[in-house]
Amino acid sequence: METTLIFVKPDGVQRGLIGRIITKFEEKGLQIVGLKMMKLSESLAKKHYSVHKGKPFYPGLIKYVTSGPIVALALRGPRAIETCRKLMGATFGYKAEPGTIRGDFGISGSFNLVHGSDSPEAAKTELALYFGKKELCDWKPALMEQVFGSE
Ligand code: UDP
Ligand code: MG
């Protein structure tokens, strides 16, 4: 079982897509164990995207993710990290497959609606950036056996 960090980016919030984006993950069977709206400070945004520091798109990326509120989610399930990345689709909307969040809702080469951790290490670090231990809710879904199976 894995837990991953997702956030609906400011364009997703502004476009009124919070519910539809969260629904994609919920319908898949991922369990929400953390959820909050917040505005990223510049320092948190820079910490989060430190791997991209120095790249040409970095200044625009920081401006974009701090431009308005985001909705952060901690999602749990078997292979949650890879599964969420698949549901999100390729980085840019114009490349992302239909059926994915980015493929269905976006066409931009920078504003792409959603972030998701890309490895177990990133998930661990990113979850700690957005959620305190007490903010994560460790609940047992009633249909857990049916939805998650034996894994
Ligand atoms: N980004 C951008 N231009 C680029 C590459 C990335 O604006 O050429 C932005 C985009 O919002 C992307 C984020 O930077 O989601 C982080 O890039 P990464 O390659 O990690 O993509 P992701 O993991 O979000 O698919
Ligand atoms: Mg990334």
The number of the ligand 1 atom at minimal distance from the alpha carbon of 115 is 24
CATH of the domain at 114: 3.30.70.141
- The mean pLDDT value for 115-136 works out to 97
Residue 148 lies in a domain: no
Is 48 one of the annotated active-site residues of the chain?
no
Q: Give the domain range for residue 107.
A: 2-131
- The mean pLDDT value for 32-52 works out to 98
Residue 95 lies in a domain: yes
> Is the CB–ligand 1 distance for residue 117 below 6 Å?
no
- Residue 120 has a pLDDT of 98
pTM over 0.95: yes
Any idea what DSSP says for residue 8? E
Total of domains in the chain: 1
Residue 127 lies in a domain: yes
Residue 141 lies in a domain: no
Gap from CA of 89 to ligand 1 centroid (Å) = 12
Residues within 5 A (CB) of ion ligand 2: 118
Residue 91 lies in a domain: yes
- The mean pLDDT value for 42-66 works out to 98
- Residue 59 has a pLDDT of 98
Residue 150 lies in a domain: no
> Which one is catalytic: 115, 117, 123, 127?
115
Q: What is the pLDDT of residues 76-88, one digit of tens each?
A: 999 999 999 999 9
